[in-house]
Amino acid sequence: MDALQAFRAAGQFSVRTRDLRELGVTTRGIAAAVHRGDLLRVRIGHYALPGDPAHHRAALRVGGVAACVTAAAGHGMWLPPDALPHVWLECTASRLRELPTRRVIPHDEPTHVRHWSALMEPLDLVRGSVSIVDALVQVIRCQPRYEAIAVLDSAARLGLLDARTRARVHAVLTPGEGALLQHLDGAAGSGTESIVRMVLRDAGLAARTQVRVEGVGIVDLMVGALVIVEVDSKQWHGSADQQSRDYDRDLELVARGYIVVRVNYHQALHDHPGVLRAVLGALATSRGE
């Protein structure tokens, strides 16, 4: 059995040198696999596959496993923009490493975020991360409120936040932390949509999610009877064809008497006062004010 076959037989995100040797791989065989690019030596004595998620490999290099938003993203949940690798570490962890930095990043800037909290469930060794339950608890405690809700919305949309998982998460939260779960909406189509929904609802507006408009289809958010808020994401609105379809929908909606407020990716993340001002203005216009 060569090193790559042994690695796959182990069925884990990463393996140690001694694991490979126990499966019959020689030191020379391990070195040859690394030289061919079959395996990556991420940390002394620890190996992973080249195609595995970079932030998960970064967590291994530090000396731990993927945590918080990094672990959540490994399950397909929404990842906040420009998120650093989040790493869970045992309380006895030692010989921790910093990650290499690009030249454009100042040396005093952090390269990753460390989590030391006790875990509720065993590690997910297949993914090299904490469990979904622990990842969601960490997200709630670590991330800003809007970003945390966006991650949990995506978990609900993916079917990862079932009754058991929700109960397990809620069991360890403080009353203030647990109140966040009341705002989740698994119908939300993207993380940026979740954020804009919360901006509007925090302002006292009854923003409805994923509303069907006859002859047009599903719109992201509706406020009142006539104001529609469409929230662009990088994934679904970046290409010229996608933008052309968006413009066609906007024209049809306006022709049917609706007022469309289209919010781009940057505005959804960074210009909440501007978004709210536009929606309030559209509402005033719809009432003839």
Does residue 171 sit in the same domain as residue 134? yes
Report the candidate in 114, 113, 109, 123 with the shortest Cα–Cα distance to residue 93.
Answer: 114
Residues 136, 115 share a domain: yes
Tens digit of pLDDT per residue, the chain (289 long)?
789 999 999 999 999 999 999 999 999 999 999 999 999 999 999 999 999 999 999 999 998 999 999 999 999 999 999 899 999 998 877 777 777 655 444 555 788 999 998 999 999 999 999 999 999 999 999 999 999 999 999 999 999 999 999 999 999 999 999 999 999 999 998 999 999 999 999 999 999 999 999 989 999 999 999 999 999 876 554 567 777 888 889 999 999 999 999 999 999 999 999 999 999 999 999 988 6
- Give the per-residue pLDDT at 288: 82
Q: What is the pLDDT of residue 245?
A: 85
At 161, list the tokens.
């936040």
Domain boundary among 183, 213, 245: 183
* Confidence (pLDDT) at 274: 97
* Domain span holding position 205: 191-286
Residue 263 belongs to domain with CATH number? 3.40.960.10
* Residue 67 shares a structural domain with residue 147: yes
Same structural domain for residues 141 and 204?
A: no
Tokens in use for 160? 């990862």
Closest by CA position to 198, among listed 265, 261, 148, 154: 148
Last residue of a domain, one of 163, 183, 203: 183
For residues 93 and 178, membership in a common domain is answered with yes
Identify whether residues 218 and 146 lie together within a single domain: no
Residues 89 and 207 placed together within one structural domain of the fold: no
40 and 59 part of one domain: no
233 and 267 together in one domain: yes
Q: Give the end of a domain, one of 132, 154, 183.
A: 183
State which amino acid sits at residue 77: M
The residue type found at 110 is: P
Same domain, yes or no: 32 and 131: no
Do 76 and 179 belong together in one domain?
A: yes
Q: Indicate if 86 and 41 belong to the same structural domain.
A: no
Structural domain total, the chain: 3
User: Helix or strand or coil: residue 94?
Assistant: coil
**Each residue's pLDDT tens digit, 126-162:** 999 999 999 999 999 999 999 999 999 999 999 999 9
d(CA 128, CA 247): 42
Q: Model-level pTM greater than 0.85?
A: yes
Q: Which amino acid is residue 227, in one-letter code?
A: V
Angle at 283 between CA 148 and CA 271, to 5 degrees: 40
